[in-house]
Amino acid sequence: METSTIISLDKIENRFIYVILAAKRALQLQRGARPRVDVGTKKSTVIAMTEALEKKVDFNTPQKVKGKRSNK
């Protein structure tokens, strides 16, 4: 049985961050993390993509530091 996932691009603010977030979350799920959504499949990638779309997982980006860089 083939599982298809339709992604609505209007829900995604930045598709590159979405891909990274889903990939990291899929690894967590493969290592035993509990899913935060019930999608009716055991595929970690589908679960991770759904969690990211439904904003069940967070992605923190480092803040840019303003000012001069020091070369130590």
**23-33 pLDDT tens trace:** 999 999 999 99
Q: Which of 8-12, 41-45, 52-56 has the lowest mean pLDDT?
A: 8-12
Alpha-carbon distance 3 to 64, whole Å?
39
Contact 41, 68 (CB under 8 A): no
% of the chain exceeding 70 in pLDDT: 71
Residues contacting 33, CB < 8 A, separation 6+:
25
Q: For residue 34, name the pLDDT band (cuts at 50, 70, 90).
A: very high
Reference 59, options 19, 29, 1, 31; nearest CA is: 19
| pLDDT score of 1 more than 50 | no
Residue type, position 35, single letter:
P
Q: How many residues does the chain have?
A: 72
pTM score of the predicted model: 0.72
